[in-house]
Amino acid sequence: MATDLVTGASGFIGSHVVDHLLSRGRSVRVLLRPASSLQWLPADHIEVIRLAAWGIDSLTSALAGIDRVYHVAGTTHAANRAAFFAFHVDGTKSLLEACRRGGTVGRVIVFSSLAAAGPSPTGRPLHETDPPGPVSWYGQSKLAQEEVALSYADTLSIVILRPPAVYGPRDRDFLPLFQVARRGLLPAPAHGTQSFTHVGDVVAGAWAAGQGVVPSGGVYFISSREVITWQGLAQVLGKELGRTIRVIPVPRMALSAIGWASRALERLTGTSIPLDRNKIMEARFPHWVCWPSKAERELGFCPALDLSEGIARTIGWYRERGAL
């Protein structure tokens, strides 16, 4: 049986990737940090390898017999720019070098982000041919991760995926927004549009990227075709939560002030905070939208869930666990 390796498997997206691979009859090995939780993982049906550090020798051993690698590991919160780059760039380079040395890996699917491309200057959904313009440390580090991955495209089969904002069961980042919306409020930029993707569609895109013959070095937006305004999101949330939700416009000046305060707090404490300067920097730009036509054309990707159905499923999952 063919074996796939998943990094970041204990996280929101990674755990769903593991579930999907198992449902497709694949054998799965996961690469975890020593303290990573197995909360969302079917431990009896996977092989678990824990590494404290990603040395090339230890990674090469962990990759023995692996056919495909789904490199999901990443962080959206870090104390400074160097920490983002260490995680996304250095870690990816070590992994890909180990893949190259091992000689059995047929394809590596690298999970990047719309943040690597940056916001749309005009509100037109971005295409992969648009020049990237990341505006945050996170986005800059993800673009640098892509550049490292592409440097291996001649010796490894590399596919890079750029999902936008991802939501769904097991997600923690969107939960505070849902909890505030339940009270009838949705703080948001005064004007803006957003692409969203349900985690189920992201995982389907990853599976498609692992199949068939696709060009090495391909970069793909994995996204719904829906472009949502914040008013539109408020309407969808209101329908599923059973109440009217009012959008509270947050001026850019206020976002800037919050961002500087967050940075000062991070410097004082040495730790990142959920609403950090990095997130605020991205929120100052109104249009985070992309178009999935290349993935549809080359990967056969087809998003299955519209926002209304995806939000309904997510709210149901939160409610079952007492979070909403």
Model confidence at 269: pLDDT above 60: no
| Bigger pLDDT: 268 vs 163 | 163
Q: What is the pLDDT of residue 213?
A: 84
Give the strand pairing for 193-194 and 228-229: antiparallel
| Residue 177 confidence class, pLDDT cut points 50, 70, 90 | confident
pLDDT tens sequence across 207-233: 999 998 898 999 999 999 999 999 999
Model confidence at 111: pLDDT above 60: yes
Q: What is the pLDDT of residue 307?
A: 95
Q: What is the pLDDT of residue 266?
A: 46
91-102 and 137-150 are packed helices; what angle lies between their axes, rounded to 10 degrees? 20
CA gap 249, 76 in Å, rounded: 24
CA gap 36, 109 in Å, rounded: 22
Distance in angstroms between the alpha carbons of the first and the last residue of the chain: 41
Model confidence at 167: pLDDT above 60: yes
Task: Determine the distance from the C-alpha atom of residue 249 to the mean position of all C-alpha atoms in its chain, rounded to a whole number.
Answer: 26
Model confidence at 188: pLDDT above 90: no
Instruction: Output the six-digit token pair for 42.
Output: 């079917």
Share of the chain above pLDDT 90, in %: 77
Phi, psi (rounded to 5 degrees) for 255: -65, -40
| pTM of the predicted protein model | 0.92
Q: What is the pLDDT of residue 255?
A: 55
Q: What is the pLDDT of residue 268?
A: 47
| Bigger pLDDT: 149 vs 255 | 149
Instruction: Output the six-digit token pair for 236.
Output: 């969808």
CA-derived radius of gyration, the chain: 19
- Kindly state the DSSP code that residue 88 receives in the 8-state scheme: I
